[in-house]
Structure 1
């Protein structure tokens, strides 16, 4: 009688641990759940990312650590990977974020949650609409640590964009808002406040244009204009500015792709071209 071989792990991942907390027998082709807002609410615990790994006493079966693991332990493999990564960074690396762009980014918080935003000058701050919806006691925190009371001027549900005013910042310089269309492959920088980290930077590129492809959202008229980015975004980054290499705001991040297995390396922004139309600034 032949011995039944265990299924090997296709992926094992868990936050702050080495065990593979996957559900045995879970479907391999799991559909992505609806696009998620990225407002950070108080954490109530850490949940592992789900995969389709075979478990043995709560861990990946030893036979699952196949040739791939052995190859990664080879010093020559690490050296080759390091050289390739260095070359890729030199050839395709992203320009440093201008100081004004960093200073213009803000943290928007109310009702026990927080998101991100950007000061575009004269005390006006752009953020995601769902960050300010039903918000009470809205405040804005700057990169320098100052906290200011904020007033919601308007909220557009169709584009999920909100405009906030902070009187204390009316004399502070802001980031320029571009009314030019982005292009596929264009380098971008996102500044936001993921989880408990303030003013973190992420880099990526514009991946494409269009809607989410989710029928229930399209019927509700949400996110009428979206641009896809190849950047993984965590809760708390909603409303964060998306900059081009010159430090111009080319969009506001509004959502990320998340499934039961965790996040996908894609996020979505409302382009600045749509925001310019909303502000009556389109040329």
Structure 2
């Protein structure tokens, strides 16, 4: 009588402890910039200007936030208007970018047509150029379309970013062709195959794209708004805070509070989406 021996993996408690300590040390090191920003937001002005600076706050205060509130309340444009402008640009730009990039990536990944390789090569080459290189061309295009001083001057370039198309195309190529062929045999239309079959499978890709697009628009809204948008009623939070806090050293405290508030939203979006990305990436692998 013969038996099959199975190899059992085991780790000692000492190895687990060392691994945990190593991961904790690396995680703490990566979190240091965020911890420093949080501490600076609650420091009084004398601790902020101290040299060498203290990493942790010694006498925490909320004066930086109250001063920021009074500065924003004194603006002739209501701060709620800046909030609306920012979220409108970010939400519409992110949703449009994910949708357009996914719809364009589907035929590039799963259909054969003349010029497919050339089109994808153009997409890849476009990733080599930074936004600074194409800034003049983008401005001329937006001006020619008559979109200057509108929300769409910031939204349209974000929707047309080639990064999302490249990312979605690479993920969609992993979808089994047999699955799409079976759906076609069942009588599914191309849009239904794309929306009900392909998009759920590539959920990790478009969730990741949502994070990248949201963070990019949230952080670049002020710079883009300064170039394309001139009306104060259409400015974003980032630009408004930059103008209000450009008042010299006396406003250093409110600027620290504003930095924390601006960072909190992208971090919250990332934290809420990270678990979904990890979960879907671990369960969405499919092979022919």
TM-score greater than 0.5 by the shorter chain: no
The alignment's TM-score, normalised by the length of structure 2, stands at 0.23
Specify the structure having the higher radius of gyration (Cα): 2
The alignment's TM-score, normalised by the length of structure 1, stands at 0.23
RCO higher in 1 or 2 (8 Å CA, sep ≥ 6)?
2
